[in-house]
Amino acid sequence: MTIKLVRALALFCVVSFLNDTHADSGDAIGEAADWFLLRPGVEKAYGYSHAVRIGDDIKISGAVSMDDEGNPTAVGDLEQQMKNAYADLDKVLKHYGYTFDDVVVENVYTTDMAKFLEVSGYRNSIYTKQFPTGTWLEVKGLALPGFMIEIELEAHKPQ
């Protein structure tokens, strides 16, 4: 059931992004989607794409702390999991020629909000110009046991 939920959420996010892009920006209509897979095998197995760019906008699926086979890493260490997630997000942003300065929305899902609040100061090294909009939510669980944090982004950069 968890995998089905992850697939449904990923599809919902992409469809919502596409609908918002087409409704809000006449420039994006007719532009091809540029999909990106960070870990193709894992993403195909779970049924999602890590990111898509349409026009000037990028939607990045939630990043978690995992190895190239999709296994959780830094289990039990939320701070390291957060750093690993940001490292993956940086790879995706760089693929498109973007930086964290271009991020306009950041949503954080964590299984331990109190611990996240203790270590969230690390974000000051990620967002050096301004913080994006976003939401922080404590959740009962994430896609796999062992994941403690998931971070999704939206970025915008006029080309």
Q: What is the mean pLDDT of residues 5-17?
A: 43
pLDDT for position 79: 98
- The domain of 126 spans 2-156
Residue 148 near residue 139 (C-beta atoms within 8 A): no
pLDDT for position 159: 79
- What are the tens digits of pLDDT across the range 49-92? 999 999 999 999 999 999 999 999 999 999 999 999 999 999 99
Distance CA 146, CA 66 (A): 10
CATH number at residue 120: 3.30.1330.40
- What are the tens digits of pLDDT across the range 110-153? 999 999 999 999 999 999 999 999 999 999 999 999 999 999 99
Residue 105 near residue 133 (C-beta atoms within 8 A): yes
Residue 63 near residue 43 (C-beta atoms within 8 A): no
Number of domains present in the structure of the chain:
1
Residue 13: pLDDT over 70: no
- More confident site: 19 or 98: 98
- What are the tens digits of pLDDT across the range 141-150? 999 999 999 9
- The distance from CA 110 to its chain's CA centroid, rounded to whole angstroms, is 13
pLDDT for position 31: 84
Residue 43 near residue 49 (C-beta atoms within 8 A): yes
Which of 6-15, 77-86, 94-103, 114-123 shows the lowest mean pLDDT across its residues? Answer: 6-15
- More confident site: 78 or 29: 78
